[in-house]
Structure 1
């Protein structure tokens, strides 16, 4: 099935999830590698352009994913989940969505406020204009850079928690939570305990 049901995710939501997961993990790994490179490294420029290019893809997919979610609500959580656990799950998902927007936007702001004025050429195809930065560009760049760096570390924590929760549901609770994100829903199959 393409769309979500009350009991499972559809193919579109699953595709969004896994494509974005791979892109974001790649971005985090690339970002951690890049910050350790000296600026004089001959690969630095190309890696930064790749990082920015993928960042814009992540931002575009995050917007599309949020729009898809608005018209195609997520399935219900298992009925046997405690209320506090459902609350933590909602907070975790909210944090993940927030970081999907904060990181690309803060990165874009860093580049826009930078005194170097280096353009962003997405996959060597087209240039993305810089954001308008009123006031003190140096202060804006410092703030955006801090948000980008610590946001990335926070995202890593959220991902670790997300994966741990998925494994807990699969191996300990033995419910359908993880399986729902692996295969599309097939009609209105009830969740055990509902």
Structure 2
């Protein structure tokens, strides 16, 4: 399983759909676009040493409990999620929302969804990185660190059916794989283009 699949499997789609005011199918489709965008935005920002330090500090403020045993969206702090998405996407946030909305569900749905899922993503990453995040982030100036850790989560399981989540994100990280994947994954890649990495560092 990739990190994205792990996060999606922890969500209660019926509860998510109810809070979004849509169908479980639409909620699932929107989440499948939003979760990679959030992790991808973090990974792009973490390529900058100051961004990596900022993400490490944010991870220290988020416990893994939100995702352990499945997510109860009633426990999600949406105001915190709004701050997280603002930090991830910066001035590109509106453009990211509009582009993801064009893939399905509309910008209004994506705009509501990102702040719901951002704390969930941070909780998942906190559970994966734990106390090692600080040490890993210190290596970011050498081109590794937390950026590589996030990239590894996105690339996990790339040998399975659809080519893994890196095919879905493709050229978002300058990997040179633009245009090599099709379907919904390629759509996410093509839609977001170079918008990721615009967050505050």
**Please, what TM-score do these two structures have when normalized by structure 1?**
0.26
Structure whose CA Rg is larger: 1
Structure with the bigger percentage of helix: 2
**Please, what TM-score do these two structures have when normalized by structure 2?**
0.25
